[in-house]
Chains A and B, each alone.
Chain A
């Protein structure tokens, strides 16, 4: 059993305050879900080439597709968060600077979540 012998700041180990394994799983799960979603989107764009406003709007008016899109958006933001956290902990040594950067990133991700929800519900 490994005990954390670090003398630095807080003892949180991962992007969500959980283990590195948790981060690893979030990345894989979100990646697979997003890959399937984008594959479907690619297929849709191929079938509807050239794309018309009616087809595009119709796609996003579907209630099922709205829910799926919102879930994928949440997965995207989690995926991005783990990546950004990794970049921050790799390159930004200063605790204050790193936390400032992470605060900025998390705020942006929250904005994207709310903005994305708004877009989907306005269709």
Chain B
């Protein structure tokens, strides 16, 4: 197999021109949310450290997280976690052959997306 830079096969990197099936969207969102969660780890660790340090810190953290941009950040992190867990459960179900047919896969993708959006909105309501 030729090395990539000697490869003359055509490439389409304009991803927005590709029509992806819903299962593909569900899958790439799972990967994206996973990577996003990895990026959120230091923020979560810092929050844990700060919130446990003292009673004053705990209260000032509450005030910090009541600002709009911080709430948006928290909502993004929470939504990523919600989506990643729900899509992950779908992976586990497919491992025991629940929803691993072609129709099952499509239905499962729609279920994951709608359930995640629902819980994400619910989480947003909790924050605000």
| Residues in chain A within 8 A of chain B (CB atoms) | 28, 31-32, 35, 38, 53, 56-57, 60, 76, 80, 83-84, 87, 93, 105, 112, 115-116, 119, 122-123
Contact = CB atoms under 8 A, between A and B. Distances in A.
User: Chain A interface secondary structure, helix, strand, loop or mixed?
Assistant: helix
Contacts of A32: 92
A38 B37 CA distance: 14
Contacts of B59: 53
Given A28-B92, A93-B4, A115-B45, A84 B38 contact: yes
Interface of B: 4, 31, 34-35, 37-38, 41-42, 45, 48-49, 51-53, 55, 58-59, 81, 85, 88-89, 92, 95
A11 B42 CA distance: 33
A87 B31 contact: yes
Nearest to A82: B34
Given A28-B92, A35-B88, A119-B52, 16 more contacts: A31-B88, A31-B92, A35-B85, A35-B89, A38-B81, A53-B59, A57-B58, A60-B52, A80-B38, A83-B31, A83-B38, A87-B31, A112-B41, A116-B45, A119-B49, A122-B49
8 contacts: A38-B85, A56-B51, A60-B52, A76-B41, A83-B38, A84-B38, A115-B49, A123-B52
Contacts of A119: 45, 48-49, 52
Contacts of B42: 112
Nearest to A73: B45
Contacts of B52: 56-57, 60, 119, 122-123
A18 B48 CA distance: 34
Contacts of B51: 53, 56
